[in-house]
Amino acid sequence: MRAQNRIGAYQLYALFAVSLLSTVFMTANAETPEAGAAETLLFFLPFTGICAVTALPLLLRRRNKYEIGTVAGAWAEISPRLERPVSAAYAAVFLWAAALAGARFVLFLQSQIFRGDGAAGLLPLLFAAAGFAASRELESLGRTAVLFGVATGAATLLLAVAALPDFDASLLPPIWDAAPASVLTCGLEAAVRAPEILTLAVFAPEVAGRIRRGYGVWLACAALLLPVVFLIPAGVTGTFGAIRGYRFYALAGTVKLGQLERAEDALCATWILCAFLKVAFFLLAAHRSICASFSFKRKFLLYYILSASACAAAFVLVRSPSAFEAATGLAPGLSLLFLFAVALPILPAAVKIAARRKKWRRRSP
Amino acid sequence: METPRFTGEPRRDAAMLKKRLGGSADVIFREMLINGAPAAGLYLDGMCDEMRILRAVTGPLTNKNTFTEDGRTAEQIRLFAYKGADMKETDDPEEAAALVTAGHFALLLPGLAGAFLFGAQGYPRMGVEEAKSEQNELGGREGFTDTLKDNLALLRRKLRTPDLAIEQITVGRTCPAAVALCYLPKKTDPGVLEKVRLKLTRCGAETALGSGWLRPFLNGRRPALFPATGVTERPDVLAYKLSVGRIGVLVDGSPFAIIVPYLFTDSFHAPDDYATGTVYAGFVRLLRALCFLTAVALPGLFVAVCDFHPNMLPSDVMFKIASAEAQTPFPLALEAVTIHLIYEAVREAGLRMPKAAGHTVSIVGALVIGDAAVKAGLIAAPMLIIVALTTVCSAVVSNLQDRTVLLRLLLIAAGSAAGFFGVFLGLGLIAVEICAVSPYGVPLSAPLSPYEKKGFGNGLFRRRMQLLARERRTLREEEF
């Protein structure tokens, strides 16, 4: 019998995909470096490789190394004083990520649909709903992610199909050389700018099921969908990397679905599902990291506090877009990712291995 | 206080039983001579068939030829004299009193520190009627009744297999009722069965007047919008569910059987699906799912489009809606909520009032809401069309109707607060809520998520009979 609160590999990948989709759709591409894309790619590829190399074996072996509580626990083994600070740091990072995700969505709405500050009112609604969803635990979020992934994927494909009449293949050749590099760069940048990739590693111990197959399916879907999603806007607009603003939203604005005059609002509305789930996911992660090391019994009160804190942070970010730009810059994103997805989980293990070797050398004649 | 016991003196024991039954006026006490010794009988007036008592119990037992030897009356009754199937013997006055209240005839013999209880139920009950809440066109017509014994017989008739296991327990402290747990041991997951058994035996329900009183105990600890159990009024539906590994809970006094575990997609199934073609049945199931979505989200989406995204609609349509709405004094969301509340009030009145008056209420409601309110400019016609469409759609999936009403109001509020984004946020919450229900290890959202290949074919669609016959599909906890 499967233990409660464990999710299948498909569900984990759906959660990851939904988090990434949310970031990809709502990330403005204004500053995507068209020139120097190859150099950026060269920088990203080894980095992603490191992430994959560290995350995949853990997934395959179901080793309990990356769980937030366990990371803190691993640090506690080295020094008991470190457990709580590590847990608190993880909770703070997840709260920050939740705030960024919420702020990104509202900034997107403000700049494209509501044209003003009205969208900020959506933040309490989003965080209240996300807090409630997070209280339903990981398993239900994973199941929901599969449904949302299908819904968002279908909406995106519908958008791509509806845009096909406007697709002009002759627009592709001039940008063809830069396109593959840009596709990867944009995708990876979107992934790195918020620490979404943490989701894959943090919940690895919770996974049960056919991990290899799930990983294969996830890679296949990404490989098949990404070119469609990236090349169709290029073929329709003719300017792949130089669109200022939100590329997918701009594409949705050119599409006419049947009798509907403008489809972008309806299509974008499906993206809120991804943002909502991502925020819920981060709130759940923050909740767990607190509960792992601090004895906090009142579950709903803690969710309320976490949701309110993340909402307040998101509100500050929305009110000062310069702070948002600074927070979501490449350097902070990379630093956070490196620190929390790679360094903090691996260091205690490295220290332990070093200590064991030292011990072994002392014993050996 | 000392617990009363049987003494072996019929008069005294009968008085003790009568006292335990509250000295009620409907307790009938009879004295008779059995095998030459004075004995006593006791039953509740109206609960027993007196002719049946006479024919099957008192008649043969008072006949001298029944007994072959003097004395040892009790042994002879046990071995030879009474061949009736429903005979129990107990030395516990509590159990004896409970059985008497269930329509048994208690026989008290001299020298026997206990009582014989003969099933002679003859209380008024409803006959087998057509299932009112689950109408169908091509399938069987029988529905469950209020009596557990009749319901078990109806189930046995549909599921003629020696594999059918029925466990009977009594649930309820103040107002107990007999509860039957029905399952096919070869098909049912033992883990799920044990959970159901434990939930029923440990539920501590005060009253068990019907399946509705016990269902919350089977749904799990956490209050959820979507229950983990379903109900059916039809023996053929229950028989089918048992054949695919579900567990049925029948409660005495209720014509509704509880099905455990239950899937969300089961709500879109109907008995007729198996009497029509595969393609048509699949189409109708999909239509029901679509109707549920429409019933839940359409008013909210309408409010969202009109308030936040008017540029989505073609300009001529938008103009017509805007001109109709401009004549009404209320905001769109308030209008939507008001009409829905009025509709629910009319529906409730039509349901609870005597039938003759109910029709009057419907006519008044239709005239006032449908005609006068529009003419007076209080309500716009497009909103009325939306409400009518919503009502029709919610009637298609009748077993989700109560939830549909609440969710619709929630989405209207969300749509008026944040447009499409609010509605989709609400839909997202509903999806999380559905996915969170899994008290028996089988998620309510299966086979959609987690995806289960075999179940998916017969979940939202209907698989071909040939494939269904080959599959032998059951629901097992470890699959999810």
Q: What pLDDT digit, counting tens, does each position of B192-202 carry?
A: 999 999 999 98
pLDDT per position as a tens digit, B64-83: 777 777 777 888 887 755 55
* B222: its two tokens: 């956490």
Q: Which of A147, A265, A268 sits opposite B449 (nearest CB)?
A: A147
Q: What is the pLDDT of residue A37?
A: 47
Mean pLDDT, rounded, of chain B: 86
Chains A, B: CB contacts within 8 A come to 108
Q: What SS3 class is residue B183?
A: strand
**Segments of chain A assigned E as strands:** 7-8, 207-208
Span B158-163, average pLDDT: 87
Task: Quote helix, strand, coil % in chain A, to nearest 5.
Answer: 80, 0, 20
- CB atoms B438 and A148 under 8 Å: no
Q: Which residues of B129-142 are buried (b: 16+ CB within 10 A; e: fewer)?
A: eebeebebeebbeb
The string of DSSP letters for A212-260 reads HHHHHHHHHHHHHHHHHHHHHHHHHHS-SS---S-HHHHHHHH---TT-
| Residues of chain A positioned with their CB less than 8 A from the CB of B432 | 132-133, 136, 140-141, 144, 280
- Asked if A137 reaches chain B (Cβ–Cβ under 8 Å), the answer is yes
Which member of A139, A141, A265 has the closest CB to residue B312? A265
Min Cα–Cα distance to chain A from B343, Å: 28
Q: What confidence score (pLDDT) does residue A51 get?
A: 59
Judge whether A275 and A98 are in contact, CB under 8 Å.
no
Q: How far is CA B424 from its chain centroid?
A: 32
Task: Write down the residue that tokens 């004549």 correspond to.
Answer: B327
Q: What is the mean pLDDT of residues B93-98?
A: 90
Cβ pair A112, A249 in contact under 8 A: yes
Residue A149 sits at the chain B interface (C-beta within 8 Å): no
Partner B contacted by A154 (CB < 8 A): no
Residue in the structure block whose two tokens are 């596709």: A183
pLDDT of residue B129: 83
CB count in 10 Å sphere of residue B461: 18
**Angstrom distances, CA of residue B150 to CA of B126, B144, B145, B235:** 10, 8, 7, 11
- B153 in contact with A, Cβ within 8 Å: no
Across residues B325-334, what is the average pLDDT? 87
Comparison of pLDDT for A163 and B213, the residue scoring more: B213
Per-residue model confidence (pLDDT) at position A188: 60
pLDDT at A272: 82
pLDDT: is A115 or B442 the higher one?
B442
Contact B309/A at CB under 8 A: yes
CB A308 within 8 Å of CB A48: no
Q: Which two tokens stand for residue A304?
A: 């309320």
According to the model, what pLDDT value does residue B435 have? 92
* Distance (Å) of CA A247 to CA A230, A239, B211, B311: 9, 10, 55, 21
Q: Which residue has the tokens 């959202």?
A: B445
Contacts with B421 from chain A: Cβ below 8 Å = 109, 122, 269, 272
Please identify among residues 247-276 of chain A the ones whose CB lies closer than 8 Å to any CB of chain B: 259-263, 265-266, 268-270, 272-273, 276
**Residue B219 and residue B228: Cα distance in Å, rounded?**
5
B28 bridge partner residues:
B43
Is B435 in CB contact (< 8 Å) with chain A? Answer: yes
Sign of torsion over alpha carbons A55, A57, A63, A65: negative
Contacts of B419 in chain A (CB under 8 A): 265, 269
At residue B374 the predicted structure's pLDDT band, cuts being 50, 70 and 90, is confident
Measured CA distances, B124 to A315, B103, B209 (Å)? 67, 11, 17
> What six digits make up the tokens of B328?
């009404």
**Per-residue pLDDT at A54:** 60
Q: What is the pLDDT of residues B139-153, one digit of tens each?
A: 788 899 998 988 999
Q: Which element (helix H / strand E) includes B178?
A: strand B177-183
The answer to whether the CB of A232 falls within 8 A of the CB of A251 is yes
Q: Is B306 on the interface with A (CB under 8 A)?
A: no
Low-confidence ranges of chain A (pLDDT < 70): 1-6, 24, 26-70, 115-118, 172-202, 204-205, 209-211, 222-223, 225-230, 238-248, 256-263, 327-334, 337, 341-342, 364-365
Give the whole-angstrom CA distance, residue B18 versus residue B28. 9
Identify the pLDDT of residue A201.
62
Q: What percent of chain B has pLDDT over 70?
A: 96
Q: Do A133 and B428 touch (CB under 8 A)?
A: yes
Q: Identify the pLDDT of residue A33.
A: 42
- Three-class SS state of A93: helix
The nearest CA of chain B is from the CA of A215 a distance in Å of: 16
ipTM: 0.83
What is the H or E stretch that residue B38 is in?
strand B37-44
Q: How far from A218 is each of A16, A149, A299, B58, B450, CA to CA, in Å?
A: 10, 11, 33, 77, 16
Report for A242-251, B169-178, B242-251, B395-404: range of highest mean pLDDT: B242-251
Pairing of strands A7-8, A207-208: parallel
